[in-house]
Amino acid sequence: MLDFKIKKVIPRFLPYTTKSRLPKHPLLIKIYLRIPLLWRIFGKQSLIIAEK
């Protein structure tokens, strides 16, 4: 139909919202992105990478 090929799926990657009491300092974001275990704990939204 749209001819996209899925390259990678991460079921729990992004927090549900960034409007929370948790700090959003750039250093903390870098740490979060480098530690996949945190994605499983805090992640609520999926990340799907596809290409045409």
Distance CA 50, CA 42 (A): 23
**Full domain range(s) for residue 17:** 5-51
pLDDT of 6 reads 94
Contact 11, 45 (CB under 8 A): no
| Cut 0.85: pTM above it | no
Q: What tens digit of pLDDT does each residue of 1-52 get? A: 789 999 999 998 887 666 767 677 888 888 888 999 988 888 888 999 999 9
pLDDT at residue 4, as a whole number = 93
With contact defined as beta carbons under 8 Å apart, do 12 and 48 qualify? no
Q: How many domains is the chain built from? A: 1
Query: What residues contact 31, with CB distance under 8 A and at least 6 apart?
Result: 38
In whole angstroms, give the CA distance from residue 40 to residue 38. Answer: 5
CA distance 40 to 46: 11
